[in-house]
Amino acid sequence: MLRCLALVLVCALSTSGQSISGELRLKVTDPSGRGLESRVELTSEANDYRKTFATDERFHRRHSCGVRKKNRRHCRTQRCARYARTGLHGQVDLSGGSFDTGGTSAQAQYGWGRNSVAVSADGDHTDRYLNPPVVQNFTNSGTTGDFAASYERDLTERDRVSVSVRHELPRFLVPNEQLQQAAGQRQDRDNFETMGMGSYQHVFSPNAVGDFSGMVRDNANDLSSNPNSTPVIAF
């Protein structure tokens, strides 16, 4: 699972040019923007600085730092930051609502060394899947499911590879009109999609990153009906 590390360095330059100070803000989020519990190692070759910080889902670590330079009005501190989330982590969510609507999702991630494996699954069901043609909401139930797995490995400090697979499926009944319901019509539809993705990322410099990725996908749609199917002509 990809993670995003945002570093914002604000340097306050003294008018006298005798000292340079600033504030480093560390924020670790997942692709949806939610904060993540993690550890960040900050190093500076310019002033031989090294320290490890910890963040959680609610806290964004701030650190004030300074580099003293005589008769210099710019900051050339070199820095490197990385985070690692080791061990097993997981989350389960449940939801519910009207029209017999319910859903659940679960995800787990295990990290060790330069490796990370993640799996996730979710499912939902409702008795109002589509906009019904009549207020009685005949035959309008639907179920969706999603299953995914991914693996990532940092080959070096500048190289990363990742592979992932995903399978998605919605199954639902086609809502009936009054005449179709009276005739006993039942129509079922489903859609199955399976995807496989792979990528290789290389950091050329602080200003240039290369990402080479590929994807394969298979998609299938089905419609089945019982013998009581009753076509309706729209005027």
Using alpha carbons, select from 144, 140, 139, 120 the residue that is nearest to residue 129: 140
Residues 30 and 122 in one domain: no
Q: What is the pLDDT of residue 233?
A: 77
Same domain, 100 and 159: yes
Cross-sheet strand order for the sheet of 4-13? 4-13, 20-29, 62-67
First-to-last C-alpha distance (Å) of the chain: 50
Q: How many CB atoms lie within 10 A of CB 21?
A: 15
235: in domain: no
Same domain, 60 and 106: no
| 3-class secondary-structure state, position 178 | helix
pLDDT number for residue 131: 87
The full DSSP string for 87-139 is EEEEEEEEEEETTTEEEEEEEEEEEETTEEEEEEEEEEEES--S--SSTT--S
Q: Are residues 51 and 94 in the same domain?
A: no
16 and 126 co-located in one domain: no
Which phi-psi region, left, alpha or beta, contains residue 100 (left: φ > 0; alpha: ψ -120 to 50)? left
The answer to whether residue 79 sits within a structural domain is yes
We report the CATH number of the domain holding residue 11 as 2.60.40
Residues 6 or more apart whose Cβ sits within 8 Å of residue 148: 118, 119, 120, 121, 164, 165, 166, 167
Q: Which of 43, 64, 84 is the last residue in one of the domains?
A: 84
114 in a domain, yes or no?
A: yes
* The last residue of a domain, from among 42, 59, 84: 84
Collect all residues with Cβ–Cβ distance below 8 Å to 10 and sequence separation of at least 6: 22, 23, 25
186 located within any domain: yes
Say whether both 17 and 125 belong to one domain.
no
Task: Judge whether 233 lies within some domain.
Answer: no
Residues 154 and 214 in one domain: yes
Could you tell me if 49 and 153 lie in one domain?
no
Q: Are residues 94 and 188 in the same domain?
A: yes
Query: For residue 160, what are the domain limits?
Result: 88-225
The span from the CA of 69 to the CA of 71, in Å, is 6
Among the three residues 33, 65, 84, which one is the final residue of a domain in this structure?
84
Using CA atoms, how far apart are residues 172 and 197, in angstroms rounded to an integer? 28
Per-residue pLDDT of the chain (235 residues; tens, 9 = 90+): 333 333 333 333 333 444 444 455 566 666 555 666 667 676 666 556 666 766 654 444 444 444 333 333 333 333 333 444 689 999 999 999 988 899 999 999 999 999 999 999 999 999 998 888 899 999 999 999 999 999 999 999 899 999 999 999 999 999 999 999 999 999 999 999 999 999 999 999 988 999 999 999 999 999 999 999 998 876 6
Is 184 found in the same domain as 117?
yes
Instruction: Give the total number of structural domains in the chain.
Output: 2
Position 231 in a domain: no
Shared domain check, 50 and 134? no
Measured at the alpha carbon of residue 152, what is the angle toward residues 106 and 192, in degrees to the nearest 5? 50
* Shared-domain flag, residues 9 and 105: no
